[in-house]
Amino acid sequence: MRKLGDKRVILDGVHQLPNHQEILRIAAQESSLAKLFVTCSLSLHAYSSLLEIGSRIAQVWLTPIMSQDLVDFGQTSLDYRFLRGGLPPFFMKGGKTEKDFQEWVNMFWAKEIQEPFRLERRNSFKMLMEILFAKSGELFEANRLVDACGMSHPTIMKYLLTLQACRAIQIIRPFSTKHGIEITSTPKTYAFDTGFYCSFRGWQELRQEDFGILWKHWVLNELNSRLQNRKILYWRDKRGHEIDFIIVTKEMGITAIICQWKARDFEVRNLRAFRRRYPEGRNWIVCGDKVQANTQIFGKVRAEFISLKEMNDRIDPLRQF
């Protein structure tokens, strides 16, 4: 390390090295290095050697391809991005096959799961992962998965947390303060990438009705990429009213984000139910067909219809790096 002087050093896939903790400790403590870049499949918190010098470290979450990447790749079609997903090898490939996604899952198990987490039940783990991919964006109810996966409740929860640690599944927890009328504990789970969602639902071509849920995934990916590890929540009451995403910040208060592929399909009842309980905050309707932002008033509810780009401009000041 000292011989490298003030060069930038990149350690790619460092978690696959048998002595990665020691290597990271030495590399991070070597002050002569100008920059040290480390890529790994796990969160920074899995590496105790790095946490010891946490004040000198910035963690960056490399999400699948986001909006600016589409411009950089010269391919801005959302149909293309949604079906092929946001992993560069799949995105750049002319066509995708189910075999490609299955091979990725097999490699993911072998390299990222089996040895680091010392898991043995490959088929059960893969079954749960594929079910969660196919049901991405839905409520996670472990009891309903017990029979489908042939696993106990504790095992399902263990596997879920493993998938979360590797960023393959994102757990979105409910926002709640009024426990009698709101969902307080049941989370939603999202697959990390739309390509796998489409693949495990058997979608070869996209229908118009598919874009709603895919747009929601796209907005979430954008929030993750730009806000990094800031907490993103959802809201739902026991009558079925729901807000896609909630962000709570001291700068903006309680911001409600509703993902709407077509602005004309927006219905105010969910937002009205939410603001009846939480009247203060911003209401963003992030639309797939919006270019110019505009505001509409629905009684006491003020909703701002904005594009993805406008949302990005508004949240960029909240970046954590």
pLDDT per residue as tens digits for the range 257-311? 999 999 999 999 999 999 999 999 999 999 999 878 999 999 999 999 999 999 9
How far, in Å, CA of 316 to CA of 116, rounded? Answer: 35
- CB within 8 Å of 181: residues ≥ 6 apart: 237, 238, 239, 277
The SS3 call for residue 233 is strand
Q: Is 281 left (phi over 0), alpha (psi -120 to 50) or beta?
A: left
In the chain, which ranges are continuous DSSP H helix?
20-29, 48-51, 67-73, 78-84, 88-92, 98-108, 115-117, 122-134, 142-149, 153-165, 194-200, 211-227, 269-277, 308-315
Centre a 10 Å sphere on the Cβ of residue 157 and count the other Cβ atoms it contains. 14
What's the pLDDT band for 315 if we cut at 50, 70, 90?
Answer: very high
* 186 secondary structure, DSSP code: -
- Burial label for 176, CB within 10 Å (0-12, 13-18, 19+), is middle
pLDDT in tens, 81-124: 999 999 998 998 766 677 889 999 999 998 888 877 888 889 99
Query: What pLDDT is stored for residue 321 in this prediction?
Result: 56
What pLDDT is attached to residue 42? 65
150 pLDDT more than 70: yes
- The structure's pTM equals 0.90
Extents of the domains making up the chain = 2-56, 67-318
The closest of 215, 194, 230 to 64, measured between CA atoms, is 194
* H-assigned helices in 166-307: 194-200, 211-227, 269-277
CB 232 within 8 A of CB 224: yes
CA separation (Å) from 152 to 116, 117, 128, 241?
Answer: 22, 18, 12, 31
